Protein backbone atom coordinates (compact mmCIF):
# COMPACT_ATOMS: atom_id res chain seq x y z
CA UNK A 1 0.00 0.00 0.00
CA UNK A 2 1.27 3.47 -0.79
CA UNK A 3 1.39 6.10 1.95
CA UNK A 4 -1.36 8.18 0.37
CA UNK A 5 -3.59 5.13 0.13
CA UNK A 6 -3.04 4.39 3.82
CA UNK A 7 -3.86 8.01 4.66
CA UNK A 8 -7.11 7.72 2.74
CA UNK A 9 -8.00 4.31 4.17
CA UNK A 10 -7.21 4.94 7.84
CA UNK A 11 -10.31 5.53 9.84
CA UNK A 12 -11.25 5.23 13.47
CA UNK A 13 -12.99 1.92 13.50
CA UNK A 14 -16.69 1.95 13.13
CA UNK A 15 -16.70 -1.81 12.88
CA UNK A 16 -16.44 -4.50 15.49
CA UNK A 17 -13.05 -5.91 16.30
CA UNK A 18 -11.75 -9.43 16.28
CA UNK A 19 -9.98 -11.22 19.10
CA UNK A 20 -7.68 -12.73 16.46
CA UNK A 21 -4.19 -12.09 17.84
CA UNK A 22 -2.02 -9.52 16.09
CA UNK A 23 1.08 -11.34 14.92
CA UNK A 24 4.22 -10.29 16.87
CA UNK A 25 5.93 -9.27 13.59
CA UNK A 26 3.04 -6.97 12.72
CA UNK A 27 2.98 -5.49 16.21
CA UNK A 28 6.71 -4.85 15.93
CA UNK A 29 6.30 -3.19 12.51
CA UNK A 30 3.62 -0.89 13.85
CA UNK A 31 5.67 0.05 16.94
CA UNK A 32 8.75 0.53 14.77
CA UNK A 33 6.80 3.01 12.63
CA UNK A 34 5.99 4.95 15.81
CA UNK A 35 9.62 4.79 16.94
CA UNK A 36 10.81 6.40 13.71
CA UNK A 37 8.62 9.50 14.10
CA UNK A 38 10.30 12.90 14.39
CA UNK A 39 10.29 14.66 17.76
CA UNK A 40 11.42 18.01 19.14
CA UNK A 41 15.20 17.84 19.79
CA UNK A 42 14.87 14.18 18.94
CA UNK A 43 13.85 13.61 22.53
CA UNK A 44 11.51 10.73 21.65
CA UNK A 45 9.43 11.24 24.77
CA UNK A 46 6.97 8.44 24.01
CA UNK A 47 6.39 5.18 25.82
CA UNK A 48 3.91 2.57 24.61
CA UNK A 49 2.29 0.11 26.99
CA UNK A 50 1.05 -2.85 24.97
CA UNK A 51 -1.79 -4.67 26.70
CA UNK A 52 -2.79 -8.12 25.47
CA UNK A 53 -4.87 -10.96 26.82
CA UNK A 54 -8.55 -10.85 27.71
CA UNK A 55 -8.01 -10.56 31.44
CA UNK A 56 -5.63 -7.60 31.19
CA UNK A 57 -7.82 -5.83 28.63
CA UNK A 58 -10.96 -6.36 30.71
CA UNK A 59 -9.23 -4.88 33.72
CA UNK A 60 -8.01 -1.85 31.77
CA UNK A 61 -11.46 -1.36 30.22
CA UNK A 62 -12.61 -0.29 33.71
CA UNK A 63 -10.82 3.00 33.06
CA UNK A 64 -12.97 3.67 29.98
CA UNK A 65 -16.46 5.08 29.82
CA UNK A 66 -19.46 3.19 28.47
CA UNK A 67 -19.12 4.92 25.08
CA UNK A 68 -15.53 3.72 24.66
CA UNK A 69 -16.03 0.05 25.51
CA UNK A 70 -14.83 -0.82 22.00
CA UNK A 71 -11.46 -1.15 23.72
CA UNK A 72 -12.63 -4.52 25.04
CA UNK A 73 -13.24 -6.00 21.62
CA UNK A 74 -9.77 -6.29 20.15
CA UNK A 75 -6.79 -8.43 21.04
CA UNK A 76 -4.39 -5.57 21.73
CA UNK A 77 -4.70 -2.20 23.38
CA UNK A 78 -1.88 0.33 23.27
CA UNK A 79 -1.53 3.14 25.80
CA UNK A 80 0.71 6.05 24.83
CA UNK A 81 2.50 7.87 27.66
CA UNK A 82 5.05 10.64 28.17
CA UNK A 83 6.47 12.78 30.96
CA UNK A 84 5.56 16.44 30.98
CA UNK A 85 8.99 17.17 32.44
CA UNK A 86 10.53 15.96 29.17
CA UNK A 87 8.79 18.78 27.36
CA UNK A 88 11.33 21.04 25.66
CA UNK A 89 8.99 23.80 24.53
CA UNK A 90 9.85 27.33 25.63
CA UNK A 91 6.34 27.55 27.00
CA UNK A 92 2.83 27.82 25.75
CA UNK A 93 2.76 24.96 23.29
CA UNK A 94 3.62 21.59 24.80
CA UNK A 95 5.87 20.02 22.19
CA UNK A 96 5.64 16.55 23.66
CA UNK A 97 2.01 16.32 22.62
CA UNK A 98 2.99 17.08 19.01
CA UNK A 99 5.65 14.39 19.29
CA UNK A 100 3.13 11.85 20.52
CA UNK A 101 0.69 12.84 17.78
CA UNK A 102 3.28 12.26 15.08
CA UNK A 103 4.29 8.90 16.52
CA UNK A 104 0.67 7.80 16.83
CA UNK A 105 -0.17 8.79 13.26
CA UNK A 106 2.84 6.78 12.05
CA UNK A 107 1.52 3.87 14.09
CA UNK A 108 -1.98 4.29 12.62
CA UNK A 109 -0.75 4.40 9.03
CA UNK A 110 1.46 1.35 9.49
CA UNK A 111 -1.48 -0.49 11.08
CA UNK A 112 -3.75 0.45 8.16
CA UNK A 113 -1.11 -0.78 5.76
CA UNK A 114 -1.09 -4.14 7.56
CA UNK A 115 -4.89 -4.47 7.57
CA UNK A 116 -5.30 -3.57 11.23
CA UNK A 117 -7.80 -1.22 12.84
CA UNK A 118 -7.00 1.59 15.28
CA UNK A 119 -8.99 4.27 17.06
CA UNK A 120 -7.55 7.21 19.02
CA UNK A 121 -9.25 7.55 22.40
CA UNK A 122 -8.36 10.29 24.84
CA UNK A 123 -11.32 10.14 27.11
CA UNK A 124 -10.54 7.69 29.89
CA UNK A 125 -9.73 7.88 33.56
CA UNK A 126 -6.03 8.58 33.42
CA UNK A 127 -5.35 7.91 37.11
CA UNK A 128 -7.18 4.59 36.91
CA UNK A 129 -5.24 3.57 33.78
CA UNK A 130 -1.96 4.60 35.47
CA UNK A 131 -2.84 2.58 38.57
CA UNK A 132 -3.90 -0.55 36.66
CA UNK A 133 -0.81 -0.52 34.44
CA UNK A 134 1.56 0.52 37.23
CA UNK A 135 2.77 3.47 35.17
CA UNK A 136 5.05 5.79 37.18
CA UNK A 137 3.27 8.81 38.66
CA UNK A 138 5.26 11.36 36.63
CA UNK A 139 4.03 9.97 33.31
CA UNK A 140 0.88 11.26 31.64
CA UNK A 141 -1.23 8.58 30.00
CA UNK A 142 -2.22 10.54 26.93
CA UNK A 143 -3.90 8.28 24.42
CA UNK A 144 -5.28 4.79 23.98
CA UNK A 145 -5.82 2.85 20.80
CA UNK A 146 -6.98 -0.65 20.07
CA UNK A 147 -4.84 -2.47 17.53
CA UNK A 148 -6.85 -5.31 16.09
CA UNK A 149 -8.22 -7.06 13.07
CA UNK A 150 -11.77 -6.14 12.13
CA UNK A 151 -14.30 -8.79 13.11
CA UNK A 152 -14.93 -10.81 9.96
CA UNK A 153 -18.68 -10.75 10.37
CA UNK A 154 -18.69 -6.98 10.20
CA UNK A 155 -15.96 -6.64 7.59
CA UNK A 156 -16.93 -5.64 4.11
CA UNK A 157 -14.34 -3.89 1.95
CA UNK A 158 -16.93 -1.71 0.23
CA UNK A 159 -18.46 -0.69 3.55
CA UNK A 160 -15.03 0.12 4.91
CA UNK A 161 -14.26 2.24 1.85
CA UNK A 162 -17.49 4.07 2.40
CA UNK A 163 -16.62 4.67 6.05
CA UNK A 164 -13.41 6.15 4.76
CA UNK A 165 -15.35 8.95 3.06
CA UNK A 166 -14.92 11.39 5.90
CA UNK A 167 -16.63 14.48 6.92
CA UNK A 168 -13.85 16.95 6.52
CA UNK A 169 -13.74 20.68 6.00
CA UNK A 170 -13.06 21.80 2.44
CA UNK A 171 -9.49 22.80 1.68
CA UNK A 172 -10.72 26.32 0.87
CA UNK A 173 -11.94 26.64 4.44
CA UNK A 174 -8.60 25.82 6.05
CA UNK A 175 -5.85 26.87 3.63
CA UNK A 176 -4.66 30.48 3.48
CA UNK A 177 -2.29 31.24 0.62
CA UNK A 178 0.01 34.17 1.36
CA UNK A 179 -2.13 35.88 3.97
CA UNK A 180 -5.01 34.77 6.17
CA UNK A 181 -7.65 36.75 4.30
CA UNK A 182 -6.80 35.42 0.86
C1 LIG B 1 -6.97 13.64 19.94
C2 LIG B 1 -8.14 12.71 19.62
C3 LIG B 1 -8.97 12.26 20.65
C4 LIG B 1 -10.03 11.40 20.37
N5 LIG B 1 -10.76 10.90 21.41
C6 LIG B 1 -11.77 10.05 21.14
C7 LIG B 1 -12.52 9.46 22.20
O8 LIG B 1 -12.27 9.69 23.38
N9 LIG B 1 -13.53 8.61 21.87
C10 LIG B 1 -13.81 8.31 20.56
O11 LIG B 1 -14.74 7.52 20.32
N12 LIG B 1 -13.11 8.83 19.54
C13 LIG B 1 -12.09 9.70 19.80
N14 LIG B 1 -11.36 10.21 18.76
C15 LIG B 1 -11.66 9.83 17.36
C16 LIG B 1 -12.24 10.97 16.56
O17 LIG B 1 -13.60 11.15 16.89
C18 LIG B 1 -12.08 10.65 15.06
O19 LIG B 1 -10.71 10.60 14.77
C20 LIG B 1 -12.75 11.69 14.17
O21 LIG B 1 -14.14 11.63 14.30
C22 LIG B 1 -12.41 11.51 12.69
O23 LIG B 1 -12.77 10.22 12.27
P24 LIG B 1 -11.71 9.26 11.57
O25 LIG B 1 -10.61 8.99 12.60
O26 LIG B 1 -12.48 8.01 11.24
O27 LIG B 1 -11.18 9.93 10.36
C28 LIG B 1 -10.31 11.05 19.02
C29 LIG B 1 -9.47 11.51 18.01
C30 LIG B 1 -8.39 12.31 18.30
C31 LIG B 1 -7.46 12.77 17.18
**In-domain check, residue 163:** no
Which of these, 9, 52, 26, lies nearest to 114 by C-alpha position?
Answer: 26
**Element containing residue 123 per DSSP (H, E):** none
Domain count of the chain? 1
pLDDT band with cut points at 50, 70 and 90 for residue 163: low
**Domain assignment present for 136:** yes
Q: State in Å: Cα 159 to ligand 1 middle.
A: 19
Question: What spacing in Å lies between the alpha carbon of 164 and ligand 1's midpoint?
Answer: 14
Domain annotation covers residue 164: no
What pTM was estimated for this model as a whole? 0.92
Residue 162 has pLDDT above 70, yes or no: no
Q: Residue 82: which domain range?
A: 1-7+39-150
pLDDT tens column, 7-43: 988 988 767 899 999 999 999 999 999 999 999 999 9
Q: What is the CATH number of the domain that holds 105?
A: 3.40.109.10
Please tell me the predicted confidence (pLDDT) of residue 181.
Answer: 85
Amino acid sequence: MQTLEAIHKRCSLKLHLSKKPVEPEKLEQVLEAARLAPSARNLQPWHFVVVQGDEAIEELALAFSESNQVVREGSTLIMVCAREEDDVSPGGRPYYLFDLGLAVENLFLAATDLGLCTHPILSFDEDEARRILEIPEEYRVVLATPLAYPAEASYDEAAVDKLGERTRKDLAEIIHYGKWGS
